[in-house]
Amino acid sequence: MRILVAPDKFKGSLGAGEAGARIAAGLRTILPQAEIEIRPVADGGEGTAEAIRHALQGEWMECRAHDALGREIWARYAWLPGSGTAVLEMSAAAGWAQVAPNERNPLLASTLGVGEMIHAAAALGAQRIVVGLGGSATNDGGCGLARALGFRFLDASERNIESMAALENLERIAWPNDVVLPPITAAADVRNPLLGPRGATRTFGPQKGATPDQIEILERALRRLADVAARAGRDLRDFPGAGAAGGLGFGLLAFCGAEVRPGFEVVAEALDLRREIAQANYVITGEGSLDRQTLEGKAPAGVARIARELGKPVFAIVGKASADEDVRALFDGILSLDDEPPAYSRAAELLERRARALALSWRA
């Protein structure tokens, strides 16, 4: 019997790799002869670099960068020497982890550090760069990233615009002459446009601490950015994924010529996940919360859909699960940790217990 264990992270509790190890440990107590493969997965959010590095035996690199509030940090990214690919997570520089809840202010937060990471990877000789777009603390449309690469944002008097509050006065974007970047893929777990009710600001701004007044300022700023950027090429404001990571998807499209792809597709391709699933008798995935959002490009849904296409039984072990029929229809079975609260403080123990129960059901 071959079992593929391919979970995403249990946010706030366990990383995908540890979750996979715990599930595998539980399975082995009941099925000691089974061949169990652990393939942590991700969808463009936190854990994307680790999932690809782990599968392809890459290494970690570090570079100097600035966090979302301009403080100097060391940021790490995955390096795959065989292909010359660098896999970055924008959250390593401009994510929640570096910003305390009382510091969150999307009018001040910047993606400068993400641009610094891209610059470092290009200087290392990267032939391709993948940027995971989840977990952002920013809403700057990629302006910070662009500044790190030499772009300047100018008002009618040719003065540099440094703040989001002043960006609605943007008249011209000065493009650098000496930036040479490899092909960049932006791995996004959402398909939102830049502007409007489903855009970066109105959908995700409140989560980042934006007040109603700040939301209006940020929306006007990003609209002006899109208007001026459109003069230099395509109008990208409605591109699916442009609103990811506070508009960083837009910035990568407009200033780096990136392609935006669903994050799970990028990870699944790197892991050769279809082949792994095809060789399995059973597939197990999971994440912290299985709900309607899972259907919108999240990793467990991606794993389940491939398994369904290949006719493989697929199960989910999750922190908590929605009763939504469309979600439940993806899986042959769902086991939830929150049947025994407090689930998250005991996630490792409960994952093993649920995996044992699942293995026992197969034996029966």
Which CATH number belongs to the domain containing residue 26 in this structure?
3.40.50.10350
**Domain match, 226 and 281 both:** no
pTM over 0.75: yes
Both tokens assigned to 287: 């994440």
- pLDDT above 70 covers a percentage of the chain that reads 98
Q: The domain containing residue 124 runs over which residues? A: 48-264
Closest C-alpha among 317, 315, 332, 266 to residue 287? 317
Residues in the chain: 364
- Using one digit for the tens of pLDDT, what is the confidence trace for 78-120? 999 999 999 999 999 999 888 998 999 999 999 999 999 999 9
Q: What is the pLDDT of residue 344?
A: 61
Both tokens assigned to 204: 């995700």
**Domain match, 203 and 291 both:** no
**Domain match, 123 and 8 both:** no
Phi/psi of residue 66, each to 5°? -120, 145
Residue 151 and residue 353: Cα distance in Å, rounded? 53
Residue 201 and residue 198: Cα distance in Å, rounded? 8
Q: What is the pLDDT of residue 342?
A: 60
Q: What is the pLDDT of residue 295?
A: 82
By the 8 A CB rule, do 332 and 299 touch?
no
Residue 136 and residue 94: Cα distance in Å, rounded? 6
Task: Specify the 3-state DSSP secondary structure of 161.
Answer: coil
DSSP notation for 236-299: -TTSTTTTHHHHHHHHHHHHH--EEEEHHHHHHHHHTHHHHHHT-SEEEE--SEESGGGGTT-H
- Using one digit for the tens of pLDDT, what is the confidence trace for 247-301? 999 999 999 999 999 999 999 999 999 999 999 999 999 999 888 888 888 899 9
Which of 264, 280, 301 marks a domain boundary? 264
Element at 89 (helix H, strand E): strand 85-89
Instruction: Give me the number of domains the chain comprises.
Output: 2
- Using one digit for the tens of pLDDT, what is the confidence trace for 294-340? 888 889 999 999 999 999 999 999 999 888 888 899 999 999 998 76
Q: Which range, of 27-31, 176-180, 241-245, averages the lowest pLDDT?
A: 176-180
**Domain match, 225 and 313 both:** no
**Domain match, 11 and 63 both:** no
**Domain match, 252 and 204 both:** yes
Residue 268 and residue 42: Cα distance in Å, rounded? 9
By the 8 A CB rule, do 313 and 361 touch?
no
Which of 230, 264, 298 marks a domain boundary? 264
Find the CATH number of the domain harbouring 123: 3.90.1510.10
**Domain match, 143 and 208 both:** yes
Q: How far apart are the first and last CA of the chain?
A: 15
Which of 223, 248, 264 marks a domain boundary? 264
Q: What is the pLDDT of residue 98?
A: 85
Residue 38 has pLDDT above 80, yes or no: yes
One-letter amino acid of 30: I
**Domain match, 350 and 257 both:** no
